[in-house]
């Protein structure tokens, strides 16, 4: 499976997102090209992880993965914690939303004994 560095989505009216891929059929050829016509591009929304130092901050942004094996040794259950920060860009402009830090809920996984 290839790794996509970027992927485009179209935002629906209900707040959900659908993948967007421009196909060759959507581009104009010379026979139906209108003079001075620019094809309409959808709004672009990018979500990115904040990792490491940034030019405008003194401390680096943490990306933390913690695995605590055998919290309950008899059940062979461990705890996985992931902490990261993310941001959004809409059409190349950084978007300020209410919540910029996400702490994932604790996940309990069975460790291999």
**Cα-Cα-Cα-Cα dihedral sign, residues 86, 90, 94, 96:** negative
Q: What is the CA radius of gyration of the chain?
A: 21
Q: What is the pLDDT of residues 77-104, one digit of tens each?
A: 889 999 988 888 887 777 776 544 444 4
Tokens encoding 87:
């941001």
54 versus 65: the higher-pLDDT residue is 65
pLDDT for 80:
92
In the chain, the N- to C-terminal Cα span, in Å, equals: 30
pLDDT for 18:
84
- 59 pLDDT higher than 50: yes
Q: What percent of the chain has pLDDT over 90?
A: 7
pLDDT for 81:
92
């Amino acid at each position: 499976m290839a790794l996509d560095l970027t992927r485009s989505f179209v935002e629906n009216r209900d707040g959900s997102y659908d993948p967007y891929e421009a196909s060759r059929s959507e581009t104009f050829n010379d026979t139906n090209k209108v003079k001075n016509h620019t094809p309409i591009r959808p709004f672009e929304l990018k979500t990115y992880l904040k990792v490491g130092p940034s030019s405008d901050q003194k401390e680096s942004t943490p990306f933390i993965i913690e695995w605590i094996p055998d919290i309950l040794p008899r059940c062979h259950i461990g705890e996985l914690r992931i902490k990261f920060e993310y941001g959004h860009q809409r059409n190349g402009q950084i978007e300020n939303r209410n919540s910029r830090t996400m702490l994932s809920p604790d996940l309990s996984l069975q460790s291999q004994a």
